Amino acid sequence: MVLSCLLYARSHLLPAKAPPTAASAAAAVTEAAAARPQNKSLLPPPPPPPPPHPVASFFNLPPVPALLPAPKSNPEAATIDLSALRGRVILAFNSASQCGFTRDNLRGLSALAQRLGPRGLTVLGFPCDAFGGQEPGGPFEIAAELAKVRGGPELASQYFLLAGKVAAVSGADAHPVFKFLASSSSASASGSSSSSSSSSSSSSNPSSAGSAPTWNFFKYVVGRDGKVVASFGSEYREAEVEAAVVE
């Protein structure tokens, strides 16, 4: 009897549960969605990193290996720190010890470094075998051959530096130094100032401002601000090169 009374009271006296409304159903769905862990794969991908800023100065380029290993007494000589040359005039070129232009260029550039080095010039060579396979040897062979062609027992000095052998100085695979030199010379060629190379007209020394090397001993003159001010082809024309250096 007691159980019957309880069942009667529950079914007739307690208030009936209200049916769910549309708003309550939507709220329940929202709560359930919020409670589920978010699927990260559905999130938008992060924005790509900004492109690297172009190098504004030759002296901002990273160090380059030296041609010969450093002696134990001077381990820092294993690299050439381009930033340490800041404020100097740089004459950079691609060399080859077995090229027809080797003798005149090496002797001329060595004499120029000896004469103008104390006044702020550094000559910097990059041996390269890309043109004609005319630099096939290793570091010691290159150093010995270049010294022999130059006519002296030692080629390198504090004003005449030789970097390690590079694979390419033009095209997509060009060494970063030569990529910068070509792009910087292009910028200088498009400006209002003219370089001394624009007066060159022979096939071996063309009007070369704004160019990448097309043969051995292509020469770039970099000013004290780290930008290319002139460029020259393979033939060594002492008066023109020196004029661009001291300008």
**Predicted confidence (pLDDT) at residue 70 exceeds the cutoff of 60:** yes
CB 200 within 8 A of CB 219: no
Output the pLDDT for position 211: 84
Please tell me whether the overall predicted TM-score, pTM, comes out greater than 0.95 for this model. no
Task: Give the tens place of pLDDT for each residue, 133-164.
Answer: 999 999 999 988 888 887 655 555 789 999 99
**Predicted confidence (pLDDT) at residue 83 exceeds the cutoff of 60:** yes
Least confident of 18-27, 102-111, 192-201: 192-201
In three-state form (DSSP H/G/I as H, E/B as E, the rest C), the secondary structure along the chain is: CHHHHHHHHHHHCCCCCCCCCHHHHHHHHHHHHHHCCCCHHHCCCCCCCCCCCCCCCHHHCCCEEECCCCCCCCHHHHEECHHHHCCCEEEEEEECCCCCCHHHHHHHHHHHHHHHHHHCEEEEEEEECCCCCCCCCCHHHHHHHHHHHHCCCCCCCCCEEEECCECCCCCCCCCHHHHHHHHHHHHHHHCCCCCHHHHCCECCECCCCCCCCCCCCCEEEECCCCCEEEEECCCCCHHHHHHHHHC
Active site residues per annotation = 99
| Antiparallel, parallel or unpaired: β 219-222 and 228-232 | antiparallel
The average confidence (pLDDT) of the chain is 80
Output the pLDDT for position 41: 57
Q: Which tokens belong to 40?
A: 């990260």
Residues 6+ apart with CB under 8 A from 7: none
Task: Give the tens place of pLDDT for each residue, 45-63.
Answer: 777 766 555 678 999 999 9
Output the pLDDT for position 203: 38
Q: Which tokens belong to 53?
A: 């800023």
Output the pLDDT for position 193: 39
Q: What percent of the chain has pLDDT over 90?
A: 54
Task: Give the tens place of pLDDT for each residue, 182-218.
Answer: 998 866 655 433 343 433 333 344 444 458 999 999 9
Task: Give the tens place of pLDDT for each residue, 226-243.
Answer: 999 999 999 999 999 999
What is the end-to-end Cα distance of the chain in Å, rounded?
A: 120
